[in-house]
Structure 1
């Protein structure tokens, strides 16, 4: 296919990317035909995939507002994907324009697009790095320019840990980050659940399993164990829509098996 003008030269336009597929679910425009074809296959199996992506984004916004309410003013979004409306910096900086945000993603399109939209934002930046290498991410000079590790940090691993297989030791990855942050810091996680899956969701997971980035669903207990010695805040590990909904009338999409949790470093 013809390479779009905004696509970096090292982007493989013939292979779907989870970041660009997610962008398509959210109604974004930074995706290729191969991403849209894969997303459409998933949506044929699970028509509510875009709604699930929107629900995940709504959880991210609620979690960031919650952390801002605790006084946290610096955030690291790991596996951030392609920025769309309601990003971490937009939410955090609506509370405090000087809130610092660092996005981290290995996808070249996510990185390039983030650089473009953050070009005039002195308090937000993006680095291209592999979140599975905490030491390298945390040592990045650009990240260190924005983040003071003597102060509480909001770490976000939203809809990304389920792409990390057990062989990559996700608990060790989480520990690599949580061990570097100050008391009062929080970790925000959403993750594909393994319980209560229906046939359409199983079929959609099967499509990912045959891709280069299979999804590894985990149970609530398995997700809890990834937090290590961090303290889960109420209501603990729950379905996405059940994590501190902003209104009692907010619809709870209980058919979405994705899980969410926030934990504190004491």
Structure 2
């Protein structure tokens, strides 16, 4: 028996029109200033001097005339920080205050208050082209509501699939790499997508927790190649058959879709 549970992740056919914060005027110069102001926990600057190549990459990344998702901007900016930082360390903690200032000025989160929940950021870059980030939060369970709290929804498999929030379990870690011109985030840990997923038909399935395995952002678009599967926490929290638990352990959903948070 083949059981398919379609996972739309952040795909949407409905978006909220209600603003959550007062609009601000985006400034790429402020973003660059905040990148160069980054220091580690020992107050050592991540960048000793301006990097022309990084400036070019970041200006293109945040070009408001090009339609991009905030997710792509977030992960790609972190990739560039690892690639171009001149600090002579392979492992370090990035200063919290300068990190939060950058995340707010770059507007990579729709909810400008969310970065303030971050308590610590570790960067491991024994390979600058394949960095590992670990983000710690100020609580054991931190939620980031999607689409200003309205979530993202799409009708598939005979039911309304609705992605409501990202759930972080005290921390959040991932690796980054380049695939051609695209940045891919992968090996996610301690984060699930919460919502209402599943299927209706010969077999009815209801799922609340989905684990995203990897996301490859297609440069200069809102599209991304997403690999996801049913989270193991789904079976810790909700009651399911042993067969569903077994099948979903090996089944990964792969889809190309619009993506954002």
Q: TM-score w.r.t. structure 1 length?
A: 0.29
Larger Rg: 2
Higher helix fraction: Structure 1 or Structure 2? 1
Q: TM-score w.r.t. structure 2 length?
A: 0.30
Higher strand fraction: Structure 1 or Structure 2? 2
